[in-house]
Amino acid sequence: MISTLTDPSADIREEIAQRSGTGELTNKIWFHKTAAAVIDADRCIRCGACIAACPSQSLTGAEDGLPTLVKMCTGCSRCWDFCPLAGMRTERLWKLAEGDAFELDGIGPVSAVYSARSLDRPAGAQDGGIVTTMLERLLADGAIDGVLVTRRRGSFESEPYVARSPEELRESAGSIYDQSLPLTLVDPSILGTGGKIAVVGTPCQINGLHALREYGVTHRDNAAANVTLTIALFCTRSFDGRKLASMLLDRGVPLARVGTVAVQDAALQCLAGDGEALFEAPVKEFRDAALRGCDECADFTGRLADISVGSLGTAEGFTTVVVRTEAGADAWSRVTGAVEASEDCDLDAVRDLERRSRRGAARKLNREFDPDSPLWISYAEHLLSYSDTDRAPSTPPGFRSHHYTVSC
């Protein structure tokens, strides 16, 4: 079946397999195929799951901010299997995790919902500063050793970072509309093993982390097993920070003064550090800077997290907090006395956006959206679904998998 379609990832290995008659080699999924189907098809959402999943640590983020091969690829398929835009059927992952309670039309497990703001709100916090305050408390109590966060690098770009003190946490407060392969840091040499790490991330990052915990490598230390708490940020889309900055610059926004970028009520706003409004325009005008892969994402709230947070459903300056699990309830219990909280939250608005986000994703996915289908999707299935679409696999540039050409 696959041979009737053009496969832009076909390379020297396929040629060797064909000439030698060892056809089984074509069933291996090398990084070259993940690159063709996702990264160079402009579908990558920069979660970094592929990099964390690679057992030979052969991948890293390149200058263009995208996963790239820097060592020999063994064709083990794991970059493919853990990629939510490729081999991982995320809706199946949810169903396996949630069991009998799973409802596709819901927002996942909910044990309590609050509207809250910190009494000592960190400068730069996006909404109520709840994420930073909660994590500060957990660090102070010794309940965690560190937190994988994403912090600003310049006004619009970001970098993943492991904060190990309250000061470092405060410096990383606020939302950054950029994805910088944060799961790359889920590595034993960075997170260590046997510790207690919290992770803050967008839903796709939390889904990838969940998969790494459930199906992580067994023959070497799995740093994902250290993660004892996950906090998901509600998310409808993220951007390529560099492209967003460039589009704002074209509109005369003084980038150096931008402290906060927020997407609220379908508007993109830039505020200075002192809160002065610098710019506001409909967010749809910035579609060209958005990550195209986000169109295919059906998870607004991060249903596999221990706690999910966002601005939707609550008053300005507050954070909506959805507590889902026992670990989440324990984390929330530690903010007593440090926050002002009520149960006055519009969870229906959150449910409604989750449903709309799911419907939108189902339209953009070229495969069937089906929580009862197998967790893993093969490259051949992908090629059948995506060939001849505007998201079809595309030949990767030489540098993306240079090592194939020189080493294979």
Amino acid at 308: S
Cα(79)–Cα(88) distance, rounded to whole angstroms?
A: 10
Instruction: Work out whether 85 is an interface residue with ligand SF4 (CB under 6 A).
Output: yes
Which listed range, 12-20, 177-185, 274-282, 327-335, lies at the site for ligand FAD (CB under 6 A)?
A: 177-185
Which among ligand FAD, ligand SF4, none contacts residue 270 (Cβ within 5 to 8 A by kind)? Answer: none
Instruction: Work out whether 305 is an interface residue with ligand SF4 (CB under 6 A).
Output: no
Instruction: Work out whether 309 is an interface residue with ligand FAD (CB under 6 A).
Output: yes
Report the residue from 29, 36, 41, 83 that binds ligand SF4 according to the rule CB under 6 A. 83
Give whichever of 291 and 331 is closer to ligand SF4, judged by the CB atom: 291
- CA neighbor of 88 nearest in space, from 367, 397, 406, 384: 367
Instruction: Work out whether 216 is an interface residue with ligand SF4 (CB under 6 A).
Output: no
How many residues touch ligand SF4 under the rule CB under 6 A: the total is: 29
Residue 375 beta carbon to ligand FAD: minimum distance, rounded to whole angstroms: 25
For 264, the token pair is 């609220």
Which listed range, 9-17, 96-104, 118-126, 196-204, lies at the site for ligand SF4 (CB under 6 A)?
A: 196-204
Which listed range, 109-117, 229-237, 269-277, 393-401, lies at the site for ligand SF4 (CB under 6 A)?
A: 229-237
Strand, coil or helix: 49: helix
Amino acid at 27: N
- Under 8 Å CB-to-CB from 160, ≥6 apart: which residues? 48, 148, 149, 150, 180, 181, 182, 183, 184, 185
Distances (CA, A) of 29 to 46, 81, 87, 380: 20, 9, 10, 10
Residue 294 beta carbon to ligand SF4: minimum distance, rounded to whole angstroms: 3
Give whichever of 76 and 298 is closer to ligand FAD, judged by the CB atom: 298
Buried/exposed 205-231: b ≥16 CB within 10 Å, e otherwise: bbbbbbbbbebbbeeebbbbbbbbbbb
Give whichever of 139 and 183 is closer to ligand SF4, judged by the CB atom: 183
- CA neighbor of 394 nearest in space, from 43, 124, 138: 43
Residue 315 beta carbon to ligand FAD: minimum distance, rounded to whole angstroms: 12
Scan residues 234-263 and list those touching ligand FAD (CB under 6 A).
234-236, 238, 263
Which listed range, 93-101, 233-241, 247-255, 354-362, lies at the site for ligand FAD (CB under 6 A)?
A: 233-241
> Given the structure tokens 């030949």, which residue do they identify?
395
For the chain, how big is the Rg over CA atoms in Å? 21
Binding mask 115-154 for ligand FAD (x = CB under 6 A): -------x--xxxxxxxx----------------xxx---
Strands 197-201 and 227-233: parallel
Which string of DSSP letters, residue by residue, matches 303-320? TTSSEEEESTTS-TT-EE
- Residues that bind ligand SF4 in the complex, under the rule CB under 6 A: 34, 38-39, 44-50, 67, 82-83, 85-86, 179, 181, 202-204, 235-238, 291, 293-294, 297, 299
